[in-house]
Each structure stands twice: as structure tokens, then as C-alpha cells.
Amino acid sequence: MLITIIEIIAVCVGVIATILATVILFEIISKSRLAALVRMKRTVKVKKEGGNKNMSKEAREGVTFNDIFMFMIAVPLVLLWVGFAGFVIHTGLGNSAVLENIEAYTTLIAILGGPALLIIKDALDVWKQEQAEKTAFYKVKAQAVIDYNDAAQKQAQMVEAKEQEHEHKKK
């Protein structure tokens, strides 16, 4: 019975890890394509301006070592931590043998939980930073739209004033 539960949990964690890996891989690929487009624009701009030879290696790369490290170490660690904690809770509710060895299980959960919590905190910090960047971008975009509308309105008023002035000169 216990082995069956462990197998089911392993399959579920494997499916979740596969889905998560696919999503992360898709994000990395889409960011790489976006980065490639940005690099192409920068290259054209740099060629027009005379060149920038001091560009860092990270600015030229799409997928870095840190991306691969996080994908290979951090994601499985967090999934293992959450899966094992859920397994201990689920099994501990119905099996007194788990409750007898609860100290060993909680120690293992704590050992896995330290790095996992740091990884989760860093992921949340990155997410907050991205949200702040989006907010700043939309503020700049909104101000640009406001400035454009003001300029268009002033130009329309100027054109209308010139037309009226021209009509008065004709008469």
C-alpha cells in the first residue's frame, strides 16, 4: 500500500515537473527570441552609431548558465520538498508508523526546505521586479500617449488657426 502511494506521488511529481519544465523551456525560448530581436535592433543601431565593443557577454546571450542551473537544481528541489512534505502529511494521517518516526521526517523536510524557501523567495523577488518594470513601462507608455494627444491637439488647433487666418486675408 505504501509503495503504491509513493509510486502515485512519484508519477504526479513527474507529470508536474514535465509540465513545469515545458513552461520554463517555452519561456526561455520566447525570451531568447525576444532577446535576439532586441540584439538585432541594437546591432543595427550600434552600426549606425559607430559600434559598441564593450557589450557584456550576458547581454549577447539568450540562455545563461544561471538559467540552466535554476532549471536543473532549483525546480526539482522545490518539487521534491513540496512532494515529500505532502507525502508525510498524507501518510501520517493514516499510518501510525509515520507518526513514530515524525522527527526524522521533519528533519528531512527542514533540510530540503531551507534551500527551497530561498529559491522560492528569489523567484518571488524576480516576479516583483518584473511587475515593477511592467508598471514603469505602462506609466511611460501612458505619458507618451498623453503627450502625443496633446501634440496632435495643438497641431490641429494651429492648422485651424492658420486656415482661419488665411480665410481672413482672402476677404
State residue 146's pLDDT score: 94
Residue 152 has pLDDT above 90, yes or no: yes
User: Cβ of 56: how many Cβ atoms within 10 Å?
Assistant: 7
State residue 96's pLDDT score: 81
Closest by Cα among 12, 19, 120, 17 to 76: 17
Confidence of residue 162 (pLDDT cuts 50, 70, 90): very high
Q: What is the mean pLDDT of residues 157-168?
A: 91
Please check whether residue 109 is in contact with residue 85, taking contact to mean a CB–CB distance below 8 angstroms: yes
State residue 58's pLDDT score: 46
- Dist CA 62 CA 31 (whole Å): 7
**Mind listing the pLDDT tens digit for each residue in 69-78?**
677 777 788 8
Q: How far is CA 79 from CA 21, 34, 84, 159, in A?
A: 11, 29, 8, 64
Residue 28 in 3-state DSSP? helix
DSSP alpha helices (H): ranges in the chain? 2-49, 57-60, 65-69, 75-94, 96-100, 102-170
Grid cell 515529500 — which residue? 84
Which grid coordinates are listed for 126? 524576480
Q: Say what percent of the chain tops pLDDT 90.
A: 15
Residue 97 has pLDDT above 60, yes or no: yes
- Dist CA 49 CA 142 (whole Å): 29
Q: What is the mean pLDDT of residues 84-98?
A: 81
Q: At what angle do helices 2-49 and 75-94 cross, to 10 degrees?
A: 160
User: Cβ of 22: how many Cβ atoms within 10 Å?
Assistant: 10
Task: Please provide the size of the chain in residues.
Answer: 171
State residue 142's pLDDT score: 92
State residue 46's pLDDT score: 46
State residue 37's pLDDT score: 58
